[in-house]
Amino acid sequence: MMKIAVDWSPGEARIAALLDGVLVDFSLWRPGKPDGFGDIHCVRIIRPVPIMKGAFGRILSGEDVFVTGIFPEGASVTARVTRAAQGGKGARLQPLQSDAICDAPTCLQQGPSPLEEMAARYPEARILIDTPSLAARLSSDLRPRLERVACAFDEDIKDQCSALTHEDIALPDNMSAHVTPSAALCAIDLDDADTAAASARSQFDRNVAIFPTLAREIRLRNINGVILIDPAGVPTRKRAALIPFLQDAFRDDPLKPHDFGATPSGLLELTRPRRRPPLHELLSSPHGIGLAALRQVVRTLSGMPTHHKLCLKASFAIIDALQKDVAALEDVSRILGYELPLMAIPDYPPAHWSFS
């Protein structure tokens, strides 16, 4: 049976789609600072770049974006976000045919939230929530599918979701993968603890056997862009023969990866379209670290007397990100009964925080 479980914490929902208890899809939703995927904007063109077959423009938030197509400076263009800002680059937008006339940058329509996207992907799934206030944030279309439960994430679901934060992935049959993301690409190194005892033929088959699990793990983490996979124990000259099996492993991926091939050095290459930011980027950003800090503050205070108050201290980057997420801070204030003090500490490293 398919179900969608939503675990809510201040400013963030962890969304897990499960089939008979096994995690098959995962996403994060941050209502106070959405990624903007699918939004429709009226964009003011500020710098045409014909050599890139596009132009840089500005949207209502003041962020610079890239719009595909040739447009003159100063033009207003209606366009949809097809790739959210990620990897140090701004959002990419595709022009739309529209009658909208704007004198200034405007957000004409917001795209679907990750939860709405997940619900559309699994239309028969129940949506389990354990926070009543979450229902108010959802579209009316989803409310008939909601089911209130005492706890949306049991320990097993928590463990499955927690595993997504690790760079090392346990694969079947004593194999593993190490994930190394970067702004340009993601490298995945496969390792087989039984390589020494395996023949070349059996090693080929062992790689093929774990491809479906590897594809699932890539999808759960939303690893995107160029992905290079280093197979375990297969001679370089034979690695190209793995490509059809790798393609088959991704056949059910909604993002439809493409450009499968093998490099001269024997790395398996594919491209998974960039749409929403990958999980590792969401978690390691100042905003993601700040939300994790808020979650810990709430957990800590749940076991303390009501008169005990805390102050969150963090780097400038984390404090700045939290101050821009008004919805998350309002969630904390509602839970604690007071406004949580935030203090930027100049000596703190970018990812460091504490509370006292």
The predicted-structure confidence for 181-231, as pLDDT tens digits, reads as follows 998 999 999 998 876 656 656 899 999 999 999 999 999 999 999 999 999
Per CATH, 40-109 and 166-272 having the same topology is answered no
Which of 4-13, 128-137, 312-321, 342-351 is least confident? 128-137
Helix (H, G, I), strand (E, B) or coil at 201: helix
Segments in 265-325 forming alpha helices (H): 279-284, 286-301, 316-323
* CATH C-level class of 166-272: alpha beta
| Residue 314 one-letter amino acid | A
Task: Name the band, by pLDDT with cuts 50, 70 and 90, for residue 338.
Answer: confident
The predicted-structure confidence for 240-258, as pLDDT tens digits, reads as follows 999 999 999 999 999 999 9
The span from the CA of 307 to the CA of 309, in Å, is 6
Q: What mean pLDDT is predicted for residues 8-18?
A: 96
Domain residue ranges of the chain, discontinuous segments joined by +: 2-34+114-161, 40-109, 166-272, 285-355
For residue 123, what pLDDT is reported?
Answer: 95
For residue 133, what pLDDT is reported?
Answer: 83
The predicted-structure confidence for 152-181, as pLDDT tens digits, reads as follows 999 999 999 999 999 999 999 899 999 999
For residue 337, what pLDDT is reported?
Answer: 86
Query: What is the pLDDT of the chain when averaged over all its residues?
Result: 93
pTM of the prediction?
Answer: 0.92
Task: Name the band, by pLDDT with cuts 50, 70 and 90, for residue 234.
Answer: very high
Q: DSSP string of 70-136?
A: ---TT-EEEEEEEE-SBTTB--EEEE-------SS-EEEEPPPPHHHHHHHHSTT-EEEES-GGGGG
The predicted-structure confidence for 39-83, as pLDDT tens digits, reads as follows 999 999 999 999 999 999 999 999 999 999 999 999 999 999 999
The span from the CA of 53 to the CA of 27, in Å, is 32
For 117, list phi and psi in degrees, rounded to 5: -65, -45
List, in order, residues 6 or more apart from 333 with CB less than 8 Å away: 339, 340
Task: Name the band, by pLDDT with cuts 50, 70 and 90, for residue 307.
Answer: low
For residue 199, what pLDDT is reported?
Answer: 63
The span from the CA of 254 to the CA of 24, in Å, is 12
Helix (H, G, I), strand (E, B) or coil at 186: strand
The predicted-structure confidence for 255-271, as pLDDT tens digits, reads as follows 999 999 999 999 999 99
For residue 221, what pLDDT is reported?
Answer: 98
Residue 93 has pLDDT above 60, yes or no: yes
Long-range CB pairs of 168-176, under 8 A, 24+ apart, other chains included: 169/214, 169/217, 171/210, 171/213, 171/214, 172/209, 172/210, 172/213, 173/206, 173/209, 173/210, 175/206, 175/210, 175/232
| 40-109: CATH architecture | Beta Barrel (2.40)
> In the chain, what percentage of residues exceed pLDDT 90?
83
What tokens appear for 25 in the block? 């899809």
* Residue 310 burial (CB count, 10 A): 16
The span from the CA of 192 to the CA of 81, in Å, is 41
For residue 309, what pLDDT is reported?
Answer: 78
**Cβ 15 vs Cβ 118: under 8 Å:** yes
